[in-house]
């Protein structure tokens, strides 16, 4: 399960997606159902009933906080335990569980751990901009036809800014750059991933980006004394299909009337990237030795190293029922 994406905490979706009840979502090839049991945080189960395989996401949430299968009405709680089998009072419920995944709500997002056999994984380490209650946030969602590793690398890549984004966030860099310019990319490893910064001809603009393993980028935009960040959450759906959540966080201009303006800008920047990334094709990133790279690829090569050493080939084991 979760081939090449096992044993990690990942953001999954925004809480507002759950307003209308259970929601089906595909993560790294696995169909999941997400729901909010009354009085509890959130529940994530495999979207497959252990009885005959119907999609639990087509069912309803009972007042007791169980999801009820739409086919024969079996009921499962947030931990996947079977609480009721209609018409068969002798059924041994402990043998008839659904598969649950560890899940949390952090900030406005549902996070899930991609290993159902892990009873108590360490808590997700979430970038400050995604969790601090004092910040205003806007969210934009996108879907790209590419392998998620291509989209992730794009988010960690500084030298594309003056080309892909020459009309938006790369405008200043495009203006300063000459044919003789030199960009120096610095990478600093951190307990949760790494920090990348870049200078252009020795000048440091003050922006830097963080990579939070396995799939979050946080871009720190320098505004003196203020918090302004753009996060890219790169979520593998299926091979060749990637969901992106772009979240901007800020501690100024907090009025929600400004959200459409910020969202418009973030959408525009993401769409600039999309055309180029999708042109690469739908395969995963190759091993570093299979492509030509230069010094300014330092941050993306760090991601590639992490992917090949820690994620690729990983797969979690379903827990046996009961
Ligand atoms: S398929 Fe779910 S209860 Fe029968
Ligand atoms: Fe970009």
Containing structural domain, residue 224? 130-311
Does 297 lie in the same domain as 159? yes
Does 62 lie in the same domain as 183? no
- Ligand 1 centroid from CA 30, angstroms: 19
Contact assessment for residue 147 and residue 282, using Cβ atoms and an 8 Å cutoff:
yes
Alpha helices in the chain (DSSP H): 128-131, 148-155, 161-164, 171-176, 259-279, 298-306
CB contact set of 211 (below 8 Å; sequence gap of 6+): 156, 193, 194, 195, 196, 217, 299, 302, 303
Does 292 lie in the same domain as 166? yes
* pLDDT, tens only, 117-153: 987 789 999 999 999 999 999 999 999 999 999 999 9
- Ligand 1 centroid from CA 192, angstroms: 41
How is 178-211 classified by DSSP, letter by letter? -TT--EEEEEEEETTEEEEEEEETTB--S-EEEE
Does 187 lie in the same domain as 287? yes
Does 108 lie in the same domain as 217? no
Select from 63, 94, 119 the last residue of a domain: 119
Sign of the Cα torsion 161, 166, 168, 173 reads positive
- Ligand 2 centroid from CA 272, angstroms: 7
Low-confidence ranges of the chain (pLDDT < 50): none
| Ligand number with the minimum distance to the CA of 273 | 2
Select from 93, 119, 145 the last residue of a domain: 119
Does 154 lie in the same domain as 194? yes
Select from 119, 140, 158 the last residue of a domain: 119
pLDDT at 302: 97
pLDDT at 248: 96
CB contact set of 167 (below 8 Å; sequence gap of 6+): 272
Burial 209-218 (b: 16+ CB within 10 A, else e): bbbbbbbbbb
Tokens in use for 309? 């050493």
Best residue among 49, 50, 60, 87 to mutate for probing ligand 1's pocket (most ligand atoms within 8 Å of CB) is 49
Query: Does a structural domain hold residue 25?
Result: yes
Tokens in use for 72? 């024969």
pLDDT at 204: 94
Contact assessment for residue 263 and residue 250, using Cβ atoms and an 8 Å cutoff:
no
How is 120-143 classified by DSSP, letter by letter? SPPPP---HHHH-TTSEEEEEEEE
| Number of domains, the chain | 2
Query: In angstroms, what CA-CA distances link 113 with 24, 75, 110, 170?
Result: 16, 23, 10, 35
pLDDT at 119: 78
Query: Does a structural domain hold residue 320?
Result: no
Does 138 lie in the same domain as 80? no
Contact assessment for residue 172 and residue 205, using Cβ atoms and an 8 Å cutoff:
yes
Query: Does a structural domain hold residue 159?
Result: yes
Does 83 lie in the same domain as 20? yes
Q: Is 308 in the pocket of ligand 1 (CB under 6 A)?
A: no
* pLDDT, tens only, 194-248: 999 999 999 998 999 999 999 999 999 999 999 999 999 999 999 999 999 999 9
Tokens in use for 91? 């059924």
Does 136 lie in the same domain as 63? no
Which CATH number do you get for residue 102? Answer: 2.102.10.10
């Amino acid at each position: 399960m979760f081939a090449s994406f096992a044993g990690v905490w990942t953001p999954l979706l925004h809480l507002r997606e759950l307003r209308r009840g259970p929601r089906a979502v595909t993560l790294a090839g696995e169909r999941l159902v997400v729901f909010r049991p009354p009085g509890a945080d959130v529940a994530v189960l495999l979207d497959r009933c252990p009885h005959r395989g119907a999609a639990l996401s087509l069912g309803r949430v009972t007042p007791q906080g169980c999801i009820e299968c739409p086919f024969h009405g079996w009921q499962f709680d947030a931990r996947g335990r079977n609480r009721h089998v209609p018409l068969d009072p002798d059924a041994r419920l402990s043998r008839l569980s659904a598969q649950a995944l560890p899940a949390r709500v952090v900030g406005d997002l549902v996070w899930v751990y991609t290993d159902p056999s892990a009873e108590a994984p360490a808590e997700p380490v979430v970038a400050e901009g995604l969790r601090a209650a004092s910040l205003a946030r806007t969210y934009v969602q996108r879907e790209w036809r590419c392998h998620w590793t291509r989209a992730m690398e794009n988010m960690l890549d500084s030298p594309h800014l003056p080309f892909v984004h020459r009309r938006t966030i790369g405008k200043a860099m495009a203006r300063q750059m000459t044919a003789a310019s030199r960009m120096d990319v610095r990478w600093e490893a951190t307990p949760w991933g790494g920090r990348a910064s870049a200078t252009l001809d020795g000048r440091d603009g003050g922006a830097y980006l963080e990579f939070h393993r396995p799939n979050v980028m946080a871009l720190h935009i320098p505004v003196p004394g203020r918090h302004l960040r753009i996060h890219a959450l790169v979520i593998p759906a299926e091979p060749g299909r990637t969901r992106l959540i772009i979240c901007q966080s800020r501690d100024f201009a907090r009025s929600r009337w400004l959200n459409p303006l910020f969202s418009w800008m973030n959408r525009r920047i993401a769409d600039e990237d999309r055309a180029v990334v999708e042109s690469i094709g739908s395969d995963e990133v190759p091993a570093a030795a299979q492509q030509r790279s230069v010094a300014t690829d330092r941050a993306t090569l760090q991601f590639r190293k992490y992917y090949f050493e820690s994620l690729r080939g990983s797969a979690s084991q379903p827990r046996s029922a009961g």
